[in-house]
Amino acid sequence: MNVETPIAGDFLSLLAAHKLAPLPSTPAPTAPVQTQATTVFAFEFAEGVLMAGDRRATAGNVIVTDRVDKVIEIDATSLLAIAGVPATAFEMARVLQTSFEYYRRSQLQSLSLPAKVRALARLLRENLAMTMQGIGVVAPLFAGLDNSVSPAKPQIYFYDPLGAQFQAVGYVASGSGSGTIRSVLSFQEQYGSPRPSQMKLGEAIRFALRLLMTASEFDSATGGVNPATRTYATIKLLRSSGVESVGDEQQSACLKG
């Protein structure tokens, strides 16, 4: 009688036993350098949630472009900020936009916030094979309105590349410049005046721009903000009334003020 070899109690061992293990994570020598779009963040301010990101994309030590929009409006009450490989992240955003709109039209109501949060987690889990190979890795941020309370309250979530979801308390950042941004946000929330959660709109926009300018001093993959070349951030607001974009002119005015 054949005795089967015991399988270790984890998913990857089970895949290997059935010859379904993901491909090795070491890229081939001829593999192209991946384009990365990093440094996004979100924080609560007095009127809702501000989500922002710089506009730089890099491939190794090469700047690919300074015109990437990393904060995407998924629907009227949801925002997605991408950090990682933009090709994968943009496709996830398109899938979410389509699925949320299909549900709204077919069911005559919008998805609940928990369902939206899980939908993104599922896309990240389905990207497991690419993540295990070290390509197509995405670590996004998500903000949506919780309509179970009145008035509706914006909430912020962050994810690891495997799909685990966590609710942020006050603020969160992702990407190569996130360490600097989280440090400044933490300091300002504990010792600053006003705290980010107390800032009015103009103060919050100016603070967000200065966060990116500070991060760019320590991280070459963060494009920062340069009024001289009219290079600003992508900034979107989520309030109880829905999503609103902050354009370059408004950013420039807030920065001068």
- Say if residues 225 and 42 touch (Cβ distance below 8 Å): no
* % of the chain exceeding 70 in pLDDT: 88
Q: What is the dihedral of CA 137, 58, 223, 61, to 10 degrees?
A: 120
Q: Write the CA distances from 202 to 30, 110, 237, integer angstroms.
A: 48, 31, 12
Q: Quote the CA–CA distance of 126 and 119 in Å, as a whole number.
A: 11
Average pLDDT (177-194) is: 96
| Residue 38 annotated to the active site | yes
Q: Letter for the amino acid at 64?
A: V
User: What sections of the chain are H helices per DSSP?
Assistant: 11-17, 86-107, 113-126, 128-132, 178-191, 201-218, 248-256
Q: What is the pLDDT of residue 14?
A: 63
Average pLDDT (56-76) is: 93
* Lookup: tokens for 150: 């009145």
Q: Letter for the amino acid at 1?
A: M
Contacts of 153 (CB under 8 A, 6+ apart): 145, 146, 240
| Domains present along the chain, CATH in parentheses | 33-256 (3.60.20.10)
| pLDDT band (50, 70, 90) for residue 1 | very low
Q: What is the pLDDT of residue 257?
A: 74
| pLDDT band (50, 70, 90) for residue 30 | low
Average pLDDT (140-166) is: 93
pLDDT of 148 higher than 90 = no
pLDDT of 252 higher than 50 = yes
For 221-233, how does the pLDDT look when each residue is reduced to its tens digit (9 = 90+)? 999 898 888 889 9
- Say if residues 205 and 254 touch (Cβ distance below 8 Å): yes
pLDDT of 15 higher than 70 = no
Task: Count Cα atoms within 13 angstroms, Cβ side, for 113.
Answer: 19
For 88-114, how does the pLDDT look when each residue is reduced to its tens digit (9 = 90+)? 999 999 999 999 999 999 999 999 999
Q: What is the pLDDT of residue 71?
A: 98
| Choice among 38, 39, 88, 234 that is catalytic | 38
Task: Count Cα atoms within 13 angstroms, Cβ side, for 242.
Answer: 6
Q: What is the pLDDT of residue 130?
A: 85
Listing from the earlier edge strand, what are the strands of the sheet with 36-37?
Answer: 36-37, 57-59, 62-65
- Say if residues 205 and 213 touch (Cβ distance below 8 Å): no
Contacts of 171 (CB under 8 A, 6+ apart): 41, 42, 43, 44, 156, 182, 185, 186, 189, 196
| pLDDT band (50, 70, 90) for residue 23 | very low
| pLDDT band (50, 70, 90) for residue 28 | low
For 204-221, how does the pLDDT look when each residue is reduced to its tens digit (9 = 90+)? 999 999 999 999 999 999
Name which of 185, 217, 241 is nearest 52 in CA terms: 185
For 108-139, how does the pLDDT look when each residue is reduced to its tens digit (9 = 90+)? 999 999 999 999 999 999 998 888 888 889 99
